[in-house]
Amino acid sequence: MKIEECRADFPITRDLIYLDSAATSLTPKPVVQAMVEYDLRYRANVGRGVHRLTAVATHRYRDARDAVRSFVGGEGGTLAVTRNTTEAIGMVAAGLAWQKGDRVVTTLLEHHSNLLPWLRLREQGVEVEVVRPDADGRLDPADLEAAIRDDTRLVAVTHASNVLGTVLPVREIAGTCHDRGARLLVDAAQSVPHLPVDAAGLGCDYLCFSGHKMLGPTGTGGLWMREPDLEPLFVGGGSIESATADGYTLAPGEERYEAGTPPIAGAIGLGRAVAYLREIGMDAIRHHEKRLCARLIDGLAALDGVAVVGADAEGERIGVVSFTVEGMHPHEVAQVLDEAAAVLVRSGHHCCQPLMEHLGLPDGTVRASTYIYTTTEEIDMLIATVEELSRRVA
Ligand code: PLP
């Protein structure tokens, strides 16, 4: 399918200009249909049952999970279905046996979901170093490299910033981690939907992502593990090989991390979402978003009273652009964009409050983010409306 042909699958785009895909993407009709089909035609629990519906549901659930694993380049590893990125990161934080004096390295670019779980470990005597970017949000890879010492147990970094759109050199970071014996967790919430991601090739140990940001249903996500070496957060139904009154043996693969009934319809929907993304092709998506992003940055940066945050960062970026309008609170800008032109953007600190403080933007920013259904005309409408706004304030 050509990228220009996909819009008809997203009815919301008929009436609204949706530029908030970094928070949650829209979902196309085939994904909704896949979930409805499960509910109406073969709804049953998955696992060990033998009746015909459970057989179909189990088969479709496992196929979907395999498709997602393969989509993130995770063959050879283990993929557990989670509710979202936050849960996946939490499973790593809870699943490693921490010792007093262990060291975790992370950055100030992180979403709260990849910062708070590590800060909480300080209560257990774990040392947590948060590497800071410069005043414009640029992270010097040398600073990160210097922080990763031989006694570092885990490095947890974002693949792409949900505020600045910058992409971190995770392959190089993985090289440093492995030289120094540290494991690497990559928060891929913003990269898996927008870039071709190869978990195994990147060299990370854990890759965490959300289904609802990549055309899939809410309440779905994934934790990919190079080795299934974490203690599961929950144990119970579905996660065991066998159990007696005295103990149990956990299942060897992904099931050990999926205690209880998983989001069956959700996972099947997510499986359909990755098939949809494959039909368009991640390279085509990348190209489309690069073009839109350049137009967005150039258009906004040319306006008086509008500042694009982190626009001059070199290297790769995703279609996420943060900006401020002089004299207006970001929430006010977002509200006017909605009322005046049905342009929906996000505003505030984007769950990155420490980064916002560091950038000197305690009120946060306005954030526009693109996806496969975004058009050039929509970007131009955003720019024209912001221009009008900034003129009114000046
Ligand atoms: N990490 C990043 C970089 C994000 O952008 C987000 C959500 O915006 C998250 C983590 C948390 O994702 P979720 O709310 O799906 O758990």
247 Cα to the center of ligand 1, angstroms? 36
Residue 239 clears pLDDT 80, i.e. is over it: yes
User: Is 190 close to ligand 1, i.e. is its CB under 6 Å away?
Assistant: yes
* Pairing state between β 248-250 and 127-131: unpaired
Q: How many CA atoms lie within 13 A of 56 on its CB side?
A: 11
392 Cα to the center of ligand 1, angstroms? 34
Q: Which residues are catalytic?
A: 351
Residues sharing a CB contact under 8 Å with residue 125, sequence separation 6 or more, in sequence order = 99, 100, 101, 102
Residues sharing a CB contact under 8 Å with residue 253, sequence separation 6 or more, in sequence order = 78, 228
Rounded Cα gap, residues 202 and 197, in angstroms: 8
Residue intervals of the chain classified under CATH 3.90.1150.10 are 3-27+281-386
User: Is 369 close to ligand 1, i.e. is its CB under 6 Å away?
Assistant: no
Is the CATH number of domain 29-279 1.10.3720.10?
Answer: no
Closest-CA residue, ligand 1 atom 8, reads: 23
SS (H, E, C) 202-231: HCCCEEEEEHHHCCCCCCCEEEEECCCCCC
Rounded Cα gap, residues 277 and 270, in angstroms: 10
pLDDT value for 313? 65
Report, as an integer, the average pLDDT of 239-244: 94
Inter-CA distances, 392 with 146, 323, 329, 365, Å = 48, 17, 14, 19
User: Is 345 close to ligand 1, i.e. is its CB under 6 Å away?
Assistant: no
What is the atom index within ligand 1 of the atom nearest the CA of 159?
3
Residue 316 clears pLDDT 90, i.e. is over it: no
Of 158, 134, 211, 194, whose CA–CA distance to 350 is shortest? Answer: 158
Question: How does pLDDT run across 162-177, given as a tens digit for each residue?
Answer: 999 999 999 999 999 9
pLDDT value for 248? 97
37: which 2 tokens?
A: 């089909």
Kindly provide the residue ranges of all beta strands, DSSP E only, lying in the chain, ordered along the sequence: 17-18, 78-82, 103-107, 127-131, 152-158, 183-187, 206-210, 221-225, 240-243, 248-250, 306-308, 320-325, 343-344, 346-348, 365-369
pLDDT value for 172? 97
User: Is 85 close to ligand 1, i.e. is its CB under 6 Å away?
Assistant: yes
User: Is 194 close to ligand 1, i.e. is its CB under 6 Å away?
Assistant: no
Question: How does pLDDT run across 342-374, given as a tens digit for each residue?
Answer: 999 999 999 999 999 999 999 999 999 999 999
Residue 42 clears pLDDT 80, i.e. is over it: yes
| Per-position b or e across 52-89, b if 16+ CB within 10 A of its CB | eebebbbebbeebbebbbebbbbeebbbbbbbbbbbbb
Phi-psi category of 80—alpha, beta or left, where left has phi over 0 and alpha has psi -120 to 50? beta
Residue intervals of the chain classified under CATH 3.40.640.10 are 29-279
Question: What residues does 23 pair with on adjacent strands?
Answer: none
56 Cα to the center of ligand 1, angstroms? 32
* Pairing state between β 306-308 and 248-250: unpaired
User: Is 21 close to ligand 1, i.e. is its CB under 6 Å away?
Assistant: no
pLDDT value for 259? 96
Closest-CA residue, ligand 1 atom 5, reads: 162
Does pTM top 0.95 for this prediction? yes
SS3 content of the chain, % helix, strand, coil (to 5): 45, 20, 40
Residue 21 clears pLDDT 80, i.e. is over it: yes
**CATH-assigned architecture of domain 3-27+281-386:** Alpha-Beta Complex (3.90)
Question: How does pLDDT run across 302-314, given as a tens digit for each residue?
Answer: 999 999 998 676 6
Mean pLDDT, the chain, whole residue set? 96
